[in-house]
Amino acid sequence: MLALAALVTGFSLQSCSKSNPTDNPDPEPETEKIFAVGGLVLDPDGSYLFQHSTLSEGEISFLGKGANVTTQDPGFLAFMTKDGFYYSYKSGENTLSKYSYVNQKLQLVKVIPFVLADANRYNHQWIDQNNLLIYGYKGAYKIVNVENMTVVKEGKFDIPTKAGLTGPLIGFAELKDNKLHVGYWYGDEKYPDAIAKGKTNYATGTAYFAVFDYPAMNNPVYSEDNRSTSPGNDRNGVLKTFTYNDDLYIMTSPFEMISQNWDKPHGIYRIKKGTSVVDPTYFLNISEKLNGDPVLGGGYAGNGKLLVRRIRMDLALTWQSYGFGNVQEFHVVDMATGSLTKLDLPLVKGQPTAPNILANGGKVYFPVNTKKDNTGDIHIYSYDGAAGKMVKGIKVNDLDAVNGLFKVK
């Protein structure tokens, strides 16, 4: 009996010495925070969010700090941020939640029913300060006024289906000049095998575009191009389009993790201002300049400078190595000349499908995870488009990966 009592008491004391679930540390000082770093700890995966006033300097640790957001946003593919709030759509639960970051915790502001057909994958676009467009990868969309959390418009993009093919599968929707530009592709389980031995294709070899009048969402103009496929991508928050010289530029993503077409290069399409079709005279073939490798994720830094993440396929031999092997490089594309410049960094690792590259205020912030064996660390670097300069920024400790970078306010 005594032994049992000692056992229970001992363990209780031990449990008390750890942080008790009901304990609340002192609230953090309320300073202006505008960025958030999303961190991942592996297996079982935990997702954590750390709000900070700058990404350019200093050091942060996630040990005992930051908000655990594992249940709000596993993997950081859900968060959409604006004016200090986080919005999270969960297709499996049919909910859209609005959170604020209070005392290192996400506090629910409001949750509303939000049903979007076939929207296991989805993307978002801020229509204006208050209205958020969320669209599923099969074309259903809703626009929600986030101030009062009400759905103000809903429907489905008027895009044709094709017999025998899966789709259309939406890669981006971008509002520009009162036009909603939509890019899409089709999947074909019987599509001919890739030229490369042992590789199979799923995405057909054509990129499709539709441009609608907004807000009427009518008068669609369709166009297509077969120099690449899969315009945009189906991962929320990962670079799809950018505007340069007032023209809309569109990244393509035939990469295995997105649409899977080994025969088509990764590159950039253009829809010129004032037109509603893809520009047949322009396609920047990035893969061609990078030994055929894919690029996924990046950010436009302004001044015609685009940062992209290259995956070294000669080093990435397994699916696991895409996210956890040191197989990535960062390059800057000069949009004026089409040339690429490799940034002076060692090989890094990072989840290429995660929204962890952030363009803000003429800079692109990106995580540089050089961990290997017992060396390396994680820093957030930034590339300044105007200065054409890369700067080493904040050091992020005690994480397996930075899977999200957000501008919150």
Partner 1 sequence: MKIFLAQQPSTFLLRIISCTLLCIMLLPLPALAQQRSLLEKNLTIDFASIKISQALQQIEQQINCSFVYSNQLLDADRKVTKRYRNEKLERLLTDLFAGKKIKLKQDGKQVFIGLQSERKQRVYGRITSSEGPLAGVSVRFGQQSTTTDQHGRYELSALAEREYLLRLSSVGYKTISQTVFLKESSPLVVNLTLQSNAQQLQQVDVDAKTASQLVRETGFNVAALELSKYNNSTRDVNQILNTTTGVRIREYGGLGSDFNFSLNGLSGKAIRFFIDGIPMENFGIGMNFNNIPVNLADRLEVYKGVVPIELGSDALGGGINMVTNKGAKNYLDASYSIGSFNTHRLSLNTQSVNDTTGLMFKLTGFYNYSDNDYWMHSNPKYDAAIRVPDGPNSFIEKSVKRFHDQYKSGMIQAEAGYINQTWADALVLGMLYNNHYKEFQTGNNQNIVYGKVNRHGNYFMPSLRYKKDNLFIEGLNATAFVSYAVDKYSVVDTSTTTYWWDGSASSSNNDFGELNRSKNRSYTNYQNTFLLTRVNLSYRINEGNQLTLNHNYNKSDQKSDEELSQKILSPAGQSKSVTGLSWQNKSLQQRLNTSVFAKFFHFGIELGAVTEGKNPMPAQHRSYNNFGYGLASRYSMGDNMGVKFSYEHAYRLPELVEVLGDGVNVIPNPDIKPESSHNFNINADLSRKHDRHFYSADIGGFLGNAKDFIYTIPMGNNTSQFLNEGKVIVYGAEAEVQYKYAKLVELTLNASYQRSKQNQKYTYGTETPRANYGNMIPNQPWLYGNLYLSVGKSDWLGRGTRLQFDWSSQYYHSFYLTWEAWGSSQSLNIIPTQLLHHAGMTYSLKDGRYNISFECRNLGNELAYDNFRLQKPGRSFNLKLRYFLH
Window 208-247: residues binding partner 1 (CB under 8 A): none
Candidate list 247, 279, 334, 398; residue touching partner 1; CB under 8 A: 398
What is the b/e burial string over 325-352, where b = at least 16 CB atoms within 10 angstroms of the residue's CB?
bbbbbbbbbebeeeebeeeebeebbbbb
C-alpha–C-alpha distance, residues 109 and 106, integer Å: 9
CB 352 within 8 A of CB 293: no
Contact positions with partner 1 (CB under 8 A) in 119-138: 119-121
Q: Which residue lies nearer to partner 1 by CB, 107 or 219? A: 107
Question: Is the preceding omega at residue 27 within 30 degrees of 0, hence cis?
Answer: no
Q: What does the DSSP 8-state code read for residue 5? A: H
The residues in 346-375 that bind partner 1, with binding defined as CB under 8 A, are: 349, 371-374
Q: How far apart are the first and last CA of the chain?
A: 59
Distance, in Å, from the CA atom of 91 to the CA atom of 89, rounded to the nearest integer, reads 6
Size of the site for partner 1 (CB under 8 A): 76
13, 29, 44, 195: which one binds partner 1 (CB under 8 A): 44
Q: Write the binding mask 190 to 209 for partner 1: x where contact by CB under 8 A, - elsewhere.
A: ----------x-x-------
Q: How far is the CB of 398 from partner 1 (least distance, A)?
A: 5
* Residue closer to partner 1, measured from CB, 51 or 125: 51
DSSP-assigned letter for residue 275 = -
Taking CB under 8 A as the criterion, the residue among 33, 84, 109, 151 binding partner 1 is 151
Q: Which of 33, 34, 56, 104 binds partner 1 (CB under 8 A)?
A: 104
Q: What part of residues 17-36 is at the interface with partner 1 (CB under 8 A)?
A: 18-21, 23-25
Q: From the CB of 281, what's the least distance to partner 1, in Å?
A: 33
If residue 323 lies in a helix (H) or strand (E), which one and from where to where?
A: helix 319-324
Residue with smaller CB distance to partner 1, 68 or 206: 68
User: Of 111 and 217, which has the nearer Cβ to partner 1?
Assistant: 111
In 303-374, where do the E strands start and end?
A: 305-311, 328-334, 339-342, 358-360, 363-369
Examine residue 189 and tell whether it contacts partner 1 (CB under 8 A): yes
For the CA atoms of 306, 323, 325, 48, the dihedral, rounded to the nearest 10 degrees, stands at: 100
Q: Looking only at residues 289 through 318 of this chain, which bind partner 1 when binding is defined by CB under 8 A?
A: 318
